[in-house]
């Protein structure tokens, strides 16, 4: 069976790009995802036509909810893998990580497109959105100004960057030449903008001094948000690498992933030290141990989301074990979502004066629909463009023989192939 | 032999990477010290609030003397009439459940203090340096030249950052409409710009509301407090809160018992500004560093390529 797949892959490699058909394999998981997208699209349309009150459980006490937490705050941070990989590979000499750059970069691009979508759906007066590009009428002192401009600018930059992958398959010589010419400046702006808006997401809450709980309110919020978006990058690439390896039937590049998460682990320790310093310097260390729900949430965020993954990433033995690598990466991602949730919900609960918020079904449907759309787009792009390298030394030898000539290969295994896979990593 | 050279070249790239990683780790520490050192001293804050008070001395302002308020709700009715606001059962404008909302730009809350019920009128405080306007990036909420903080629904995109930012929890959103608006008191800007008092001040039968210039009302508040020692709490709420507000309160009941939040003297936008002013230098510094790093990497790659080419030709 493996040799049949290899032969198929070989045909693919040698076929002319123009003759290759666009693939979208329909599988059961994908059918489910499509139905989630349809439900989400319906909820989104309903929300735009009938208003925020009709579709959401938001209120004057809880003006920001699950969309701000997940679609914006967490989404932008989890997409941080794009700029952190770009910085490490293209500027700081981590050439060996280049093979994973495209996957990180694709997640980032899709993440940002979803963020822009989520942000738009959250606008109560969305018909006035055309005013946003009129920057000379805007207020540059607002953090939202910085955020919106950097997020939309970076999304555009990423679309341009994706052009390089696009022209590998779709022949467009003029576009290709233009992209080549602007490659370096695009790369540089593509690192500056994320630094600005990742930190801006934290700066948003600086004005909420007195409303945001002192466990989270800090003048260092922008630094914390920036750092966490950076160190979550490799963790996200790892989690995603394992997921995609599972579904596509190849082995994840554990060695390179281990090198990457080591950097995350080191930055997590710096982050932890800074958090301790921050709490101590503001004299709120005592609040940590008052047994309140928010103190427990804070401890969970630091313990499970920072210290545990940092330990697993820094310890050479756990770093080389696929199992612990996945556990560490998953905990880091969960910890990050928890941190953003703590800022958006737990930290603001006291300012809501007892009012509660639970997202409505429509809010949840929109969020799930956006995530499902993201996964489908990811799957489609990976099926049709050379994103995930398959010729690494850790893949089966037969596949290696086919792909040696090219760094990237479009490789479409049948779903059945998984039964004949090499034993799953970690066993 | 030749491949050894390439390996050592690669190693040197890797070693550079390690030292850069240390550098990367130091960046946030440097930022942290900047952010911490950037705290304003009390002297600076006092200077700032004196300057704000001077600048806005002639702004239209409202003095609320809570000792004179009888809780009749005439101000609420006048406000609704003036601004054509609905009366809604689900948004009570007076009593224990009174809540600022899309149809209530002002409310009279009742707070139980011991045996007695104390009425408290609430509306936008019209900060001298408003957080809501500072975060509004389409300038729908602005601090007008004359003083009142006003809202323009044609500019608003409905991001609700103002609701998050206001330390008093004043702006509200009309959740029921397809395209809801932010609503809050605009200090009857059409009336006050002509020197007329606000609708609520004009309607108040008990003398609890006084309309005038901010500097005069501050003097009036302090003279009432000295004229009747012991009657009032020794604090004019709004004189220095978040840099000062144009609505001022005096009371015989401690403010914290009436639901007033305790706030510092520094205007909240200052906190954001202490961060956002670093954006241009950080962006430029980062850009310069990236250009240098990229150029260096290109050089290393080129040298490596030449060595490889030389190796192939040699073989």
The mean pLDDT of A81-85, rounded to a whole number, is 91
Predicted confidence (pLDDT) at residue A402 exceeds the cutoff of 60: no
- Cβ neighbours of residue B254 closer than 8 Å, sequence gap 6 or more: B233
Distance from CA of B227 to the nearest CA of A (A): 34
Predicted confidence (pLDDT) at residue A182 exceeds the cutoff of 80: yes
Q: Which of B31, B172, B276 sits opposite A203 (nearest CB)?
A: B276
C-alpha to C-alpha distance for B265 and A213, rounded to whole angstroms: 19
In contact, A84 and A126? CB cutoff 8 Å: no
SS3 B33: helix
pLDDT of A268 reads 96
Question: Which DSSP symbol is given to B287?
Answer: H
CA–centroid distance for B119 within its chain: 26
In contact, A265 and A227? CB cutoff 8 Å: no
In contact, A343 and A212? CB cutoff 8 Å: yes
Mean pLDDT (chain A) is 85
Predicted confidence (pLDDT) at residue A392 exceeds the cutoff of 90: no
pLDDT of B39 reads 59
Q: Which of A122, A187, A207 sits opposite B131 (nearest CB)?
A: A207
C-alpha to C-alpha distance for A180 and A386, rounded to whole angstroms: 18
The pLDDT confidence band at residue B22, using thresholds 50, 70 and 90, is low
Rg (CA), chain B: 29
* pLDDT, tens digit (0-9, with 9 covering 90-100), for A95-136: 888 888 888 889 999 999 999 999 999 999 999 999 988 888
Question: Which DSSP symbol is given to B188?
Answer: T
Q: Which letter, b or e, does each residue of A41-68 get, where b requires 16 or more Cβ atoms within 10 Å of its Cβ? A: eebbeebbeebbbebbbbbbbbbbbbbb
Of B240 and A420, more confident: B240
pLDDT of A168 reads 83
Predicted confidence (pLDDT) at residue A277 exceeds the cutoff of 90: yes
Q: Sign of torsion, CA B173 B183 B266 B250?
A: negative
In contact, A391 and A6? CB cutoff 8 Å: no
What φ, ψ does residue B63 adopt, rounded to 5°?
Answer: -105, 125
pLDDT of B27 reads 59
Q: Which of A94, A141, A266 sits opposite B134 (nearest CB)?
A: A141
C-alpha to C-alpha distance for A53 and A129, rounded to whole angstroms: 19
How many CB pairs below 8 A link A and B?
Answer: 208
Asked if B161 and A144 come within 8 Å (Cβ–Cβ), the reply is yes
Q: Give A342's Cβ-side CA count (13 Å radius).
A: 24
> Among A58, A63, A90, A267, which would you mutate to test the B interface (most chain B Cβ atoms within 10 Å of its Cβ)?
A63
Among A5-14, A324-333, B83-92, the range scoring the smallest mean pLDDT is: A5-14
Pairing relation of β-strands B141-143 and B149-151?
antiparallel
pLDDT of A84 reads 92
In contact, A198 and A74? CB cutoff 8 Å: no
The mean pLDDT of A184-211, rounded to a whole number, is 93
Q: Which of B160, B178, B279 sits opposite A64 (nearest CB)?
A: B160
CA–centroid distance for B181 within its chain: 19
Predicted confidence (pLDDT) at residue B144 exceeds the cutoff of 70: yes
pLDDT of B16 reads 47
pLDDT of A391 reads 46
C-alpha to C-alpha distance for A175 and A181, rounded to whole angstroms: 10
In contact, A264 and A231? CB cutoff 8 Å: yes
* pLDDT, tens digit (0-9, with 9 covering 90-100), for B259-270: 999 999 999 999
| Both structure tokens of B301 | 């790659």
Question: Which DSSP symbol is given to B97?
Answer: T
> Among A93, A277, A353, A362, which would you mutate to test the B interface (most chain B Cβ atoms within 10 Å of its Cβ)?
A93
C-alpha to C-alpha distance for B31 and B46, rounded to whole angstroms: 26
pLDDT of B32 reads 58
SS3 B307: helix
The DSSP H or E segment spanning B116 is strand B116-122
Chain A residue numbers touching B157 (CB-CB < 8 A):
123-126, 128-129, 131-132
Distance from CA of B306 to the nearest CA of A (A): 17
Predicted confidence (pLDDT) at residue A326 exceeds the cutoff of 70: yes
Q: Which of B17, B35, B286 sits opposite A219 (nearest CB)?
A: B35
The mean pLDDT of A309-318, rounded to a whole number, is 94
- Of A313, A311, A314, A306, nearest to A332 by C-alpha is A306
**In angstroms, what CA-CA distances link A324 with A271, A308, A338, B287?**
21, 11, 20, 37
**In angstroms, what CA-CA distances link A399 with A282, A427, B211?**
57, 22, 83
Distance from CA of A141 to the nearest CA of B (A): 6
Closest Cα in chain A to B266? A209
pLDDT of A405 reads 34
* pLDDT, tens digit (0-9, with 9 covering 90-100), for A149-161: 999 999 999 999 8
* Residue length of chain A: 427
Q: Between residues 164 and 193 of chain B, which touch chain A (CB distance below 8 Å)?
A: 164-165, 167, 169, 172-181
Q: Give A316's Cβ-side CA count (13 Å radius).
A: 0
pLDDT of A411 reads 33
C-alpha to C-alpha distance for B118 and B67, rounded to whole angstroms: 9
C-alpha to C-alpha distance for A190 and A154, rounded to whole angstroms: 6
Predicted confidence (pLDDT) at residue A390 exceeds the cutoff of 80: no
Query: What pTM does this model have?
Result: 0.86
Asked if B135 and A219 come within 8 Å (Cβ–Cβ), the reply is no
Task: Given the cut 0.90, state whether the ipTM is greater than it.
Answer: no
Distance from CA of A293 to the nearest CA of B (A): 22
Hey, which residues does B113 pair with through a beta bridge? B116
| Contact with chain A for residue B92, Cβ under 8 A | no
Predicted confidence (pLDDT) at residue A189 exceeds the cutoff of 50: yes
The mean pLDDT of B85-109, rounded to a whole number, is 93
Write a three-state SS string for chain A.
Answer: CHHHHHHHHHHHHHCCHHHCCCCCCCCHHHHHHHHHHHHHHHHHHHHHHHCHHHHCCCCCCCCCCHHHHHHHHHHHHHCCHHHHHHHHHHCCCCHHHHHHHHHHHHHHHHHHHHHHHHHHHCCCCHHHHHHCCCHHHCCCCCHHHHHHHHHHHHHHHHHHHHHHHHHHHCCCHHHHHHHHHCHHHHHHHHHHHHHHHHHHHHHHHHHHECCECCCCCCCCHHHHHHHHHHHHHHHHHHHHHHHHHHHHCCCCCHHHHHHHHHHHHHHHHHHHHHHHHHHHHCCCHHHHHCCCHHHHHHHHHHHHHHHHHHHHHHCHHHHHCHHHHHHHHHHHHHHHHHHHHHHHCHHHCHHHCCCCCCCCHHHHHHHHHHHHHHHHHHHHHHHHCCCCCCCCCCCCHHHHHHHCCCCCCCCCCCHHHHHHCCCCCCC
Biggest CA-to-CA distance, chain A: 67
pLDDT of A134 reads 87
Asked if A53 and B160 come within 8 Å (Cβ–Cβ), the reply is no
| Both structure tokens of A275 | 């958090």
Q: Which of A93, A142, A271 sits opposite B137 (nearest CB)?
A: A142
pLDDT of A408 reads 35
**CA angle (A362 as vertex; A360, A366 as ends), nearest 5:** 125
| Contact with chain A for residue B29, Cβ under 8 A | yes
pLDDT of A2 reads 46
The mean pLDDT of A221-229, rounded to a whole number, is 96
What φ, ψ does residue B60 adopt, rounded to 5°?
Answer: -65, 140
| Both structure tokens of A140 | 């540059």
Q: Which letter, b or e, does each residue of B56-88 get, where b requires 16 or more Cβ atoms within 10 Å of its Cβ? A: beebbbbbbbbbebebbbbbbbbbbebeebeee
pLDDT of A55 reads 95
C-alpha to C-alpha distance for A130 and A392, rounded to whole angstroms: 47
The pLDDT confidence band at residue A163, using thresholds 50, 70 and 90, is confident
> Among B136, B164, B184, B260, which would you mutate to test the A interface (most chain A Cβ atoms within 10 Å of its Cβ)?
B164
Of A241 and B173, more confident: B173
Identify which of A241-255, B207-221, B301-315 has the greatest average pLDDT. B207-221
* pLDDT, tens digit (0-9, with 9 covering 90-100), for B154-185: 999 999 999 999 999 999 999 999 999 999 99
The pLDDT confidence band at residue B30, using thresholds 50, 70 and 90, is low
Percent of chain B with pLDDT over 90: 70
Q: Sign of torsion, CA A369 A374 A375 A380?
A: positive
| Both structure tokens of A202 | 């934290």
pLDDT of A394 reads 41
Judging by beta carbons within 10 Å of its beta carbon (0-12, 13-18, 19+), is residue B289 exposed, middle or buried? middle
Asked if A195 and B300 come within 8 Å (Cβ–Cβ), the reply is no
The pLDDT confidence band at residue B308, using thresholds 50, 70 and 90, is confident
| Contact with chain A for residue B25, Cβ under 8 A | yes
In contact, A271 and A301? CB cutoff 8 Å: no
Judging by beta carbons within 10 Å of its beta carbon (0-12, 13-18, 19+), is residue B144 exposed, middle or buried? middle
The mean pLDDT of A232-241, rounded to a whole number, is 91
| Both structure tokens of A17 | 């790009």
* pLDDT, tens digit (0-9, with 9 covering 90-100), for B101-122: 999 999 999 999 888 899 999 9
C-alpha to C-alpha distance for A287 and A358, rounded to whole angstroms: 26
Asked if A203 and B138 come within 8 Å (Cβ–Cβ), the reply is no
The pLDDT confidence band at residue A360, using thresholds 50, 70 and 90, is very high
In contact, A186 and B287? CB cutoff 8 Å: no
The pLDDT confidence band at residue A71, using thresholds 50, 70 and 90, is very high
* pLDDT, tens digit (0-9, with 9 covering 90-100), for B193-232: 998 999 999 999 999 999 999 999 999 999 999 999 889 9
Chain A residue numbers touching B178 (CB-CB < 8 A):
49-51
């Amino acid at each position: 069976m493996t040799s049949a797949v290899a032969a198929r892959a070989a045909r693919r490699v040698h076929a002319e790009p123009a003759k290759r058909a666009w693939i979208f394999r329909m599988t059961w998981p994908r059918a489910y995802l499509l139905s989630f997208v349809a439900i989400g699209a319906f909820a989104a349309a309903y929300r735009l036509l009938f208003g925020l009150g009709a579709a959401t459980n938001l209120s004057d006490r809880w003006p920001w909810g699950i969309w701000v937490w997940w679609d914006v705050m967490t989404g932008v941070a989890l997409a941080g893998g794009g700029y952190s990989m770009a910085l490490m590979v293209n500027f700081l000499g981590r050439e060996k990580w280049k093979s994973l750059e495209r996957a990180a970069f694709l997640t980032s691009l899709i993440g940002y497109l979803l963020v822009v979508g989520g942000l738009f759906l959250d606008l109560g007066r969305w018909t006035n959105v055309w005013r946003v590009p009129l920057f000379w009428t805007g207020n540059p002192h607002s953090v939202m100004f910085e955020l919106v401009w950097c997020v939309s600018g970076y999304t555009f930059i990423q679309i341009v960057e994706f052009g390089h992958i696009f022209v590998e398959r779709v022949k467009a010589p003029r576009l290709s030449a233009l992209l080549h010419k602007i490659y370096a400046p695009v790369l540089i702006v593509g690192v500056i903008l994320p630094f600005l808006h990742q930190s801006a997401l934290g700066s948003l809450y600086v004005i909420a001094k007195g409303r945001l709980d002192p466990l989270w309110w800090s003048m260092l919020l922008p630094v914390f948000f920036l750092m966490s978006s950076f160190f979550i990058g490799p963790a996200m690439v790892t989690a995603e690498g394992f997921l995609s390896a599972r579904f596509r039937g190849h082995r994840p590049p554990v060695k390179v992933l281990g090198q990457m998460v080591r950097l995350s682990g080191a930055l997590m320790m710096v982050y932890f030290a800074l958090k301790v310093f921050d709490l101590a310097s503001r004299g709120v260390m005592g609040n940590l141990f008052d047994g309140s729900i928010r103190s427990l949430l804070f401890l969970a965020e630091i313990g499970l989301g920072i210290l545990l993954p940092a330990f697993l990433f820094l310890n050479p033995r756990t770093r080389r074990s696929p199992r612990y690598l996945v556990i560490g990466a998953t905990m880091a991602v969960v910890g990050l979502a928890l941190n953003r949730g703590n800022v958006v919900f737990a930290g603001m609960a006291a300012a809501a004066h007892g009012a509660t918020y639970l997202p409505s079904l429509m809010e949840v449907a929109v969020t799930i629909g956006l995530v499902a759309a993201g996964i489908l787009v990811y799957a489609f792009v990976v099926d049709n463009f050379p994103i995930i390298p398959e010729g690494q030394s850790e893949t089966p030898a037969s596949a290696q023989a086919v792909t040696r000539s090219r760094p990237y290969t479009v490789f479409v295994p049948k779903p059945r192939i998984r039964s004949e896979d090499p034993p799953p990593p970690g066993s | 032999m030749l491949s050894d050279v390439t390996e050592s070249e690669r190693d040197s790239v890797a070693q550079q990477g390690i030292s850069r990683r240390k550098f990367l780790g130091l960046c946030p520490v440097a930022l942290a010290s900047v952010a911490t050192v950037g705290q304003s001293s009390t002297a600076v804050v006092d200077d700032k609030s004196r300057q704000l008070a001077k600048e806005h001395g002639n702004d239209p302002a409202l003095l609320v003397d809570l000792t004179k308020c009888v809780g009749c709700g005439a101000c609420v009715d006048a406000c609704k009439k003036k601004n054509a606001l609905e009366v809604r059962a689900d948004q009570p404008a007076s009593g224990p459940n009174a809540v600022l909302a899309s149809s209530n730009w002002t409310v009279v809350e009742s707070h139980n203090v011991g045996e007695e019920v104390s009425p408290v009128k609430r509306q936008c405080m019209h900060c001298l340096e408003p957080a809501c306007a500072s975060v509004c990036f389409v300038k729908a909420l602005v601090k007008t030249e004359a003083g009142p903080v006003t809202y323009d629904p044609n500019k608003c995109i409905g991001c609700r950052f103002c609701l998050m930012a206001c330390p008093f929890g004043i702006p509200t959103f009309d959740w029921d409409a397809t395209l809801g608006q932010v609503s809050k008191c605009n200090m009857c800007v059409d009336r006050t710009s002509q020197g007329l008092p606000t609708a609520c001040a004009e309607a108040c039968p008990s003398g609890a509301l006084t309309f005038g210039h901010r500097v005069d009302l501050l003097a009036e508040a302090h003279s009432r407090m000295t004229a009747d020692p012991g009657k009032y709490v020794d604090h004019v709420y709004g004189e220095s809160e978040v840099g000062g507000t144009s609505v001022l309160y005096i009371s015989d009941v401690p403010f914290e018992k009436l639901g007033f939040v305790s706030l510092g003297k520094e205007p909240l936008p200052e906190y954001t500004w202490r961060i956002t002013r670093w954006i241009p230098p950080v962006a430029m510094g980062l850009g310069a560093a990236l250009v240098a790093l990229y150029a260096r990497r290109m050089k290393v790659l080129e040298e490596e390529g030449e060595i490889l080419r030389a190796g192939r030709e040699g073989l």
